[in-house]
Amino acid sequence: MSLNTENAGFGGWKAQWITKPTTHHKSWSRYSVEVKITVETRGANVLFGVRDESDYIGCALDAEERTVSLYAVEGGVRREWGKAPAPELEGQPANVAVAIVQSADTVRVYLNGRQALTASDIELRPGTVGFKTDAGQTAVYQELRVYAEDGRSLYVNRFYEPTAIQFTASSANSPGIGLRLDENTVSVCESPVSVDSPLFRRTFTIPAGVVKAVAHVYAAGWYELRINGRKVDNRVLAPANTPYDRIMLYDTYDVTSALVLGGNAIGLWLGNGYNLNYSRWGWKWKRDKAAILQLDIELADGTSQQIITDESWLTTDSPIMTNDIYDGETFDGRREQLGWDTYDFQGEGWLPAIAAVPPEGELQPNAQPPVRKFDPLEPVRILRPRDGVLVYDFGQNIAGWVDVRVEGAAGSKLTLKYSELIDATGNIDPWTNRRANATDVYILTGRGVENYEPRFTYHGFQYVEVSGGLEPIEMWAVPIHADVREIGRFASSDAMLNRIQRNIRWSLLNNLVSIPTDCCQRDERTPCLMDSATVEEAAIHNFDMRLYYRKWLGDIADSLGNPDWSGDKVTLPWYLYWYYGDTEVLQDNYESMKSYIDHLLAKWPGGIVEEGFGDWCAPNEDGWENYFREVAIVNTALYYRQAAVVSEAAGVLGQAEDRRHYAALAAAIKRAFHARFHQGGGVYGSGSQTAQVMPLAFGIVPEDNVMQAVSSLVAAITAKDNHLDTGIYGTRYLLDVLADHGHINLAYTLLTREDYPSFGWQIGQGATTLWEQWSFKGGMHSHDHAMFGGIGTSFYTRLGGIQPLAPGYAKIGIRPYVPNGLEWVEACVDTAKGRIVSAWRKEGDRLHFDIEIPAKTTAVVALPDGTASFARVEHIVGPGRHQFTV
């Protein structure tokens, strides 16, 4: 069963949106509350069993007395239940994790894990949750979790999303994540979004043989589609993440082979996905989960049949007790209803689904390659850092989860904690996870050997801690990423260079889910335009990215940030045109490209862009303000390049007037750049490596100043003792500029250094992916960021020398650079025209070149002339294999 990207014959939706009926929050009873509180002044209250603002149960934290107490308020009258010391409230502000557990007629209060107070023989009542401050009290509440008595999540709110607080009186904590209450405030949860994981099923009969059956599916939340007891295919984390208020991309499946003559069953399993608790910087659902499905069946007798979601479907809770993109998943195997997705299943206790309010966005077909599971990795070692704990090392940092086989008694818990790092004793170090708990829990059925892997979460990790008194029989790490075909291969005689290429490749894939993410382990994983912009050419040289990036362009069409962020909507269509010959993508995005440059012109009429991130995360001493570098130079250089791209695109599309207009604008920006930043003698701005690289990379430097500017770049590198001192944009173009101006040996030295800061230093610390910063740990750091991977473009275009001279490689350039110390290079790229190969090797004082050119193309092969002058001899060649010796 495969994805049908054409969606042929789909005539529109007749189905309706459905959802699961949920228990009203004012009917919650005997639940547990967990919340982290920063008591800024005097104290704070947590409320539960709330009927209204004059009828509730409260837990009071008094930071002045350092006590915790329980009380009830009925009709506005307060009645105390008990008080106890709370040394956890020492300090100002005081940070304390509060857990309140209701059971039968008892309430227990835990502070930072310590049982601080118990009240018994009390009358509990159902009701929602809330917070309260008294006179002089101010507090910030974070990470609220509400669990039913059986452990199932009722509600989770990290207060990430300022526009959807869901409490009656409060404000977002402006310095960071959280819900802020000023004094004398009561704030009650009034509109909670459910965090459950429901199942939906429908049975039907087929009276004749099936000729063709196609299912169209979408969900507000992640979904899994099942027919007759089986998952339809191996995609995961569907549907694609998009700006949901504009675009909702539905998936289409050919399910012909899944259906049978007679009785059939179709099932949908939903999870939270990119819900309210997803990062404030990402696109998220702010509503309850819902689904829509339409199955169109053509029968052998010439008739047709259609199955749609409506209120005839049945629904219930799944065995997934909690599911969260950051926290992980808890799965209670004892609650699994085997065969729920088969025709003969009885479904006792299942309820009718109810109609859901349709979302605002437009349903459109999804042509992007789906996210899938790939070949699992076996552990390379198993550590035992302390009693009852194992740590599995899979030898590679990945995005995904584990697949585990285990045996034990019913009710036993297998706890799996994920991390990129371990400490010196072998325990996992979850530091880069930040606020992501990254924990999966499987509760065993006790029925022999059991298999578990999560559905509705994913993690960034190399290490997994196993606890709970159980030892897995087997465990594998399962990588997940978008199913983009590998089309580029690079290898060399230098093991370090090959490791860098491997790290780039893994970092790109780990951060390609349905959006290109910034990272895959911490509580972020957001659609980061800047990170994507710096690595897109590297991704295009390694993988077939055409359909993936077409979808991404739809996501970012309305972005209006600075050139280092939103300029991706201009340069990416050009890359897709230049590397794939995709003129249609230029046509589709041209108005967006043009309007963005017009926006920049209106905002920065003088041509100099003063705002942005700049050359993000160059080597620094840590601290937010130190991550920015050469903001105006980077953004103005990008503005120039983006204006020039729009001019070139206008030329391709026959827009002659636009071509002249944007060419003139680009020329004006170039003049403004030179006037503002040129200090004389080829030095730009501060003369840093980035300040020199950016204007050289984009041809901003006047011809008579180029050699001086290059000399100043070399001087800037020398001043750093031949170490790079660049962030993500400077690093992307550093090797290109040095190679193109006669300094390939210096570029190779920078690339292969093994002391800080360098890729080699990271690898020496065990890196199997690229890091967010050059340092090991910092205030903002992951160990799986793709954004420094842009330099991988140069492996193909400079060391291999493969470049298109016409769109889609209709004409090919082969211009390899050969540094001292590197004995051979092999690079190949599968293009729309066919495979291009450029390989060279040294033998004594000779250089051998092996070139392969695909059919119906020509190539200009520019090879060294064998002298010390760096001159080149050009050979015009046609299809086939060509060998040269210099």
Q: In the β-sheet with 55-62, what is the strand arrangement from edge to edge?
A: 77-85, 67-74, 55-62, 43-52, 128-133, 185-188
Q: 3-state DSSP call for residue 294? A: strand
**731 vs 532: CA distance, rounded Å:** 14
User: Which of 73-82, 223-232, 663-672 has the least mean pLDDT?
Assistant: 73-82
Please give the pLDDT value at position 8.
41
> Alpha helices, DSSP H only, in 628-765?
631-652, 656-677, 689-697, 706-719, 728-740, 744-752, 759-764
pTM of the complete model = 0.96
Chain segment 397-423, per-residue pLDDT in tens = 999 999 999 999 999 999 999 999 999
pLDDT of residue 612: 98
The pLDDT score that the predictor gives to residue 2 is: 33
pLDDT score of 504 more than 90: yes
Looking at per-residue pLDDT, the higher value among 342 and 867 belongs to: 342
Q: Whose CA is closest to 70, among 31, 120, 34, 114?
A: 120
Closest CA to 205 of 275, 261, 145: 261
Mean pLDDT calculated for residue range 513-534: 97
Residue 869: its pLDDT value, please?
Answer: 67
| Residue 4 confidence (pLDDT) | 36
**38-78 pLDDT per residue, tens:** 999 999 999 999 999 999 999 999 999 999 999 999 998 99
- pLDDT tens, residue by residue, 177-229: 899 999 999 999 998 999 999 999 999 999 999 999 999 999 999 999 999 99
The residue that leads in pLDDT, 869 or 163, is 163
Q: What is the mean pLDDT of residues 722-748?
A: 97
- Please list, in sequence order, all residues whose beta carbon lies within 8 angstroms of the beta carbon of residue 444, skipping any fewer than 6 positions away: 333, 334, 406, 407, 408, 409, 410, 411, 412, 413, 414, 450, 470
SS3 244: coil
Give me the pLDDT at residue 6, please: 37
d(CA 128, CA 115): 23
Q: What is the pLDDT of residue 128?
A: 97
pLDDT 10s digits, 572-601: 999 999 999 999 999 999 999 999 999 999
Residues 6+ apart with CB under 8 A from 202: 265, 266, 267, 307, 309, 312, 313, 314
The pLDDT tens digits of the residues spanning 364-378 come to: 999 999 999 999 999
The predicted-structure confidence for 206-216, as pLDDT tens digits, reads as follows 999 999 999 99
Q: What is the pLDDT of residue 622?
A: 84
Say if residues 446 and 411 touch (Cβ distance below 8 Å). Answer: yes
Task: Give the span between the Cα atoms of 751 and 535, in whole angstroms.
Answer: 17
The C-alpha atoms of residue 818 and residue 886 are separated, in whole angstroms, by: 12
CA-to-CA dists, residue 231 to 215, 224, 734, angstroms: 13, 7, 47
Mean pLDDT (the chain, rounded):
96
Q: Residues 6 or more apart from 505 whose CB is under 8 A from it?
A: 542, 792
Alpha helices (H) along 25-107: none
Distances, alpha carbon 531 to alpha carbons 223, 514, 787, in Å: 28, 15, 5
Say what the pLDDT of residue 513 is. 98
pLDDT, tens digit (0-9, with 9 covering 90-100), for 548-565: 999 999 999 999 999 999
Going by pLDDT thresholds of 50, 70 and 90, the confidence category of residue 5 is: very low
pLDDT cut 70: percent of the chain above it: 99
pLDDT mean over 454-468: 98
Are 477 and 374 spatial neighbours (Cβ–Cβ below 8 Å)? no
Position 204 scores a pLDDT of 98
Q: Which residues pair with 501 in a beta bridge?
A: none
Pairing label, strands 811-814, 858-864: parallel
* Predicted pLDDT of residue 175: 64
Say if residues 266 and 216 touch (Cβ distance below 8 Å).
Answer: no
What is the model's pLDDT at position 3? Answer: 35
Q: Say if residue 12 is exposed, middle or buried (CB neighbours under 10 Å; 0-12, 13-18, 19+).
A: exposed
pLDDT of residue 779: 78
Average pLDDT over residues 697-716: 98
Tens-digit pLDDT profile for residues 837-848: 999 999 999 999
